[in-house]
Amino acid sequence: MTERVRETFASRLGTLMTIVGVALGLGNVWRFPYMVGKFGGAAFVMFYVLVSIVIGVPALMAEFALGRHTRRGPLGAFAGGGLPFGKQVGWFFFLIVIAATGYYTAVIGWVLYYAVGQVVLVFVPTFNSAAVLPPESGFVLESFVLQMLCTSAVIASCAVVVHRGLRSGIEKASTLIVPALLVVILVLMARSLTLPGAMAGVRWYILKVRWSDLNANVMVAAIGHAIFSLSLGGTFMVVYGSYLDESENLMRPAVWTVVGDTGSSLLAGFAVIPAVFALGLEPTSGPGLIFSTLPKVFVAIPFGWLFGLLFFAGLFGAGYLSDVGAFEVLVAGLTDNTKMSRGRAVILTSVAIFLIALPPTINNHIFVPWDLTFGSGMQTLGALVAVLTVGWCIDRSTALKQLSPVDGPTIPMWLFYWIRFGIPLAIITAGVWWLLSNVTGTVTAA
């Protein structure tokens, strides 16, 4: 098969916006605030920031290195990196990405419906945005149809961008959306912080650190969320690493990705949590914090529909770029490993994602396990396999060359050994604890 010329990023700004854009997602604006609420506030926040730096930066470097070394996404990268059964592992994660992208795209569809709903509410006060959400059990035709319509719209918009390729499509869209998203978050943060009583939320969120709250469950949750939020998992960052120029110092995009992703999570927390406290609502309401609790805030404040529109439009933009990244993983996998054209790969990917989105949108009894399995669980497994491939399967001198800056000093050996030993141990420990505490129930938090 004739080797295709590998497209690379057009500029350093575009590189950073694209990689930060795929790391930004529902994890920042939807998942992070409710995780903070669920796991007790400031102590979780402090440990999450630490984990993002200590584990996130070197793990991103490893995934970038794997992609750049092999010039392939996950379908070819694990085999090219020398991982035993690497081809089969690549196909396994390819299928996992399809399953994960299906339910993730459906959630972005919920967000789209809520954004439109904020405008409709001005004219139809009885409009129910929650009608798009799946029921707890059973089957509701209205919810299912609305989800399919919104999911189709998201899939079509992703397909248009991905079909245009890296530079003309993904990089250009990321360069426009990421700065706009930052502006939206800053506007919402300013409004939230100026509400009467907001400072109680600030104290609980970032200032009132109770280290006694930092038990094993909280630490495991912080590690898992950092992996989820940074889009680690041996997929997204591997394929974007394959587009990095050989002269790029991998430390730079890794650090800026952590800064952009973690910083946006913290800002999103300032936009959500003080407002929740100001209205006397419950910050520990879990995943419903965004879709059930926060709309009550918008109803209660002047011009709330406008701030609601900004919030859900921003949330849509964040999730959309991650979804584009998922599409690119799949499309690149097909074009790299078959004779399929990019256009046909985009069509096949779009159809597969639509079909796989159907089961988890029936009800929450299907959706929640689907999320835990194909999102949190398999993403953590993918991150583990990626760092093991770089640390143990790629020749050490080759790995060090990829991880080190061109014409610069070799990275410190302690950093390489941290990638080889420390990060896998941390991920395995977190995974085992999660299984014992949340699945088997054989241990409890300290």
Walk along the chain (446 residues) in steps of 10 and give the mean pLDDT of each run. Answer: 69 89 79 83 93 97 96 94 96 95 94 94 91 94 97 98 94 92 89 91 88 85 89 93 93 94 91 87 68 79 87 90 94 92 97 97 90 81 96 96 91 96 94 73 57
Contact 230, 60 (CB under 8 A): yes
Between CA 355 and CA 115 the distance in angstroms is 24
What confidence score (pLDDT) does residue 150 get? 97
Structure tokens at 6: 């590998």
Between CA 291 and CA 111 the distance in angstroms is 8
pTM of the model: 0.91
The residue with tokens 């790029």 is 248
Structure tokens at 196: 């009467």
What confidence score (pLDDT) does residue 22 get? 84
- Ramachandran sector of residue 267 (left: φ over 0; alpha: ψ -120 to 50; beta: rest): alpha
Between CA 237 and CA 342 the distance in angstroms is 20
Domains of the chain as residue ranges with CATH: 12-439 (1.20.1730)
Computed from CA positions of residues 104, 432, 227, 292, in that sequence, does the dihedral angle turn out positive or negative? positive
Cβ contacts of 337-341, under 8 Å, gap ≥ 24: 337/75, 337/76, 339/1
What confidence score (pLDDT) does residue 33 get? 84
Alpha helices in 168-250 (DSSP H): 172-193, 198-202, 216-229, 236-241
DSSP conformation class of 205 = I
Contact 235, 93 (CB under 8 A): yes
DSSP conformation class of 6 = P
Structure tokens at 313: 């439009």
